[in-house]
Amino acid sequence: MTRAFSPSDVLAAQAHSPATTEARNALIVPDAHLLFSADFKRSGSNLILTGSDGERFTISDYFRHKKLPDLATPDGATLGAKIIETLTGSGPSHQYAQATPPAPSAQVIGKVEKITGSATAIRNGVAITLNVGDTLNKSDVLQTGAGSTLGISLLDGTTLNLSANSRMALSDFLFDVNATGGNASHLTLVQGAFAFVSGLVASTGGLNIETPVANIGIRGTVGVAVCSTDGRCEFTAGNEISGPRVGQPSTFELQAGGTYVNGQYINGTSIGTVTVGSTVQVSPTGQVTSVPATVADPILAPLMQQVIQLYPQVTVPGPPAPAPQPGNQDNQDNQDSQDSRGRAPRAVTAAAARHHLSY
């Protein structure tokens, strides 16, 4: 079955996206399951969504917009225009008629640590089969197959574990191992579930994970999230497993109404706080509810345990060392002999971090 419409006759409504600061004309896709699980392709100026059952949903002239619109469900769960560009391997629409510029050098930001089953990366619109040890680039869209899981690490030590039938984009990543601020990471969950242990970016800037209903604002924590194909998401947190707060409850914030700029989420407002012992559910309409553990999604607990088991094998760069002071070389040597886990450092300098980047 094929359905087609144009932006002029779609259910074009003023929909307020959780990922934007202002109401805009979002194109409403009536089938939420199709929106979050479809394969996205560009055909000329048209956007084609193809479901797992072969159903095709064509948005005519989508790429003729100077500013591409978000896609949203009737309830308000949103898939942003930037992730649609990434999924289709498309640049901004106003560049479409121009000569194709030389492809920029890929920015390597992480690697594959563990795979069970099958996983791919959509890179420039092409699916690439992933294997353990493969590098991951900024803007890759990671996808897991049925019955599969994918464990990855980013250069700052951030560790993620994706469950089966999940899609996540590595949207942006800014990291200087010697910086004490200004680092940023923006990841986008399209569908499925994942668990995370944050790395240095979270404590020296901010790790932001976009979902269809809210941004997860992370400043140093352990957590897990699952989003169903109707756009509803559940979030929970675990105890810290590294750094000076080992064993203490993690906490992270859910935000809406902001926008992503260079990996940061700005001008957002808090809609809820997630900590150990609570599961927070956010509906596509923005309703925030505390869910008892007995009715929470059963995938949350085992997914968190998997990422905790994965974390010890991940290389975590040491924090930037203070400049040595005259007469204090012995103290400096002592400081350099341990990392944040109390062991000999594996990557404590920019040179070491860049060596790790090459894997």
Q: Which tens digit of pLDDT belongs to each residue from 101-147? A: 444 567 999 999 999 999 999 998 889 999 999 999 999 999 999 99
Mean pLDDT, all residues of the chain = 82
Q: For residue 176, how many other CB atoms are within 10 A of its CB? A: 17
pLDDT at 324: 60
pLDDT at 218: 93
Q: Which domains can be identified in the chain, with CATH numbers?
A: 2-91 (no CATH), 108-313 (2.60.120.1440)
Measured distance CA(115)–CA(117) in Å, rounded: 6
Q: 332 near 348, Cβ under 8 Å?
A: no
Alpha helices per DSSP H over the chain? 32-37, 81-88, 200-203, 300-310, 329-336, 350-358
pLDDT at 119: 98
Per-residue pLDDT for 8 more than 60? no
pLDDT at 328: 56
| Confidence label for 219 from pLDDT (cuts 50, 70 and 90) | confident
Reference 41, options 17, 57, 52; nearest CA is: 57
pLDDT at 45: 94
Q: For residue 342, how many other CB atoms are within 10 A of its CB? A: 8
pTM: 0.81
pLDDT at 105: 65
Per-residue pLDDT for 85 more than 60? yes
